Amino acid sequence: MLHLVTDLLELAKLDLRELPLHPCMVDMRELAQASVQTHQAHAERAGITLHTVPAGDPVPARVDPDRLTQVLDNLLDNAISYAGAGAAIHVLVQDGDPVRLAVADTGQGIPTKHLPYLFDAFYRADTARTPSDSHSGLGLRIARGLVEAHGGTLTLNSQEGKGTQAVITLPKTPKA
C-alpha cells in the first residue's frame, strides 16, 4: 500500500514537472552494473540468469543517478517478474550521443495487442498471471516519465515467445 502511494505521488509530481533532478556526471556502465548486482538474488529465486554488464570503457552521461537507478530497477524488476523461469536477461550500455541502455530478456514476451498500452498508468498485460502485491501497473509510466525528464526516450519492443527489450536513450548532457 505504501508502495502504491509513493508511486502515485511520484506520478503526480512528474505530470506537474515538479520532480527535482540532481544531475551529475555518471558512468552509466557502473550504474547499470550496480543495479544488476542488487537484482541477482531476486533473479536467482525466479530461475532467471541475470548477466553482468559487459566490461568496457566508462560511458559518461549527465544524469540524476538515483532516478536512473530507479528506472533500471523498474525494468529489471519487470524482466525478472514477467520473463518466466529459464529466461536470461542482458543489460547493455552503449556510448554515443545519445547514450543507449538496453534491458533485454529472452522471456515469454508480450502479446502485440497489449503493446500500445503498456506505458499507461495502471495497465498490466496479464493480471491473472502475476501477483499484484507490489505491481500496480505504474512502473513503466513512471520510468518513461523519469527518462523523459532527462530529455531521453524509453521504448519497449517485444515478441511473443521470444522476449522483451526495453531501450533507453539519454542525451550525454541534457539542456538545463
Ligand X SMILES: Nc1ncnc2c1ncn2[C@@H]1O[C@H](COP(=O)(O)OP(=O)(O)O)[C@@H](O)[C@H]1O
Footprint of ligand X on this chain (CB under 6 A)?
Answer: 74, 78-79, 82-83, 105, 107, 110, 118, 123-126, 135-141, 164
Name which of residues 75 to 134 contact Mg ion (CB under 5 A).
Answer: 78
Q: Nearer to ligand X by C-beta: 19 or 79?
A: 79
In angstroms, give the least distance from the CB of 72 to ligand X.
12
**Binding residues for Mg ion restricted to 23-82, rule: CB under 5 A:** 78
Applying CB under 5 A, which of residues 139, 145, 152, 163 lies at the interface with Mg ion? 139
Q: Could you tell me the three cell numbers for 103?
A: 534491458
Q: Which is nearer to ligand X, 31 or 104 (CB)?
A: 104
CA–CA distances in Å: residue 143 to residues 10, 38, 64, 119, 162: 11, 18, 13, 9, 23
Alpha-carbon distance 40 to 48, whole Å? Answer: 9
Nearer Cβ to Mg ion, position 98 or 139?
A: 139
With CB cut-offs between 5 and 8 Å by kind, which of Mg ion, ligand X, none does residue 147 bind? Answer: none
Nearer to ligand X by Cβ, of 8 and 173: the residue is 8
> In this complex, which beta carbon is closest to Mg ion, that of residue 78 or of residue 169?
78
Gyration radius (Cα) of the chain, Å: 15
Peptide bond connecting 98 to the previous residue in cis, omega within 30 degrees of 0: yes
**Residue 80 to residue 82: CA distance in whole angstroms:** 6
How far apart CA 174 and CA 133 sit, in angstroms, is 36
DSSP 99: E
Q: Which residue is nearest to ligand X (CB)?
A: 139
Number of residues that bind Mg ion (CB under 5 A): 2
Of 109, 43, 39, which Cα lies nearest the Cα of 73? 39
- Contacts with Mg ion by CB under 5 A lie at 78, 139
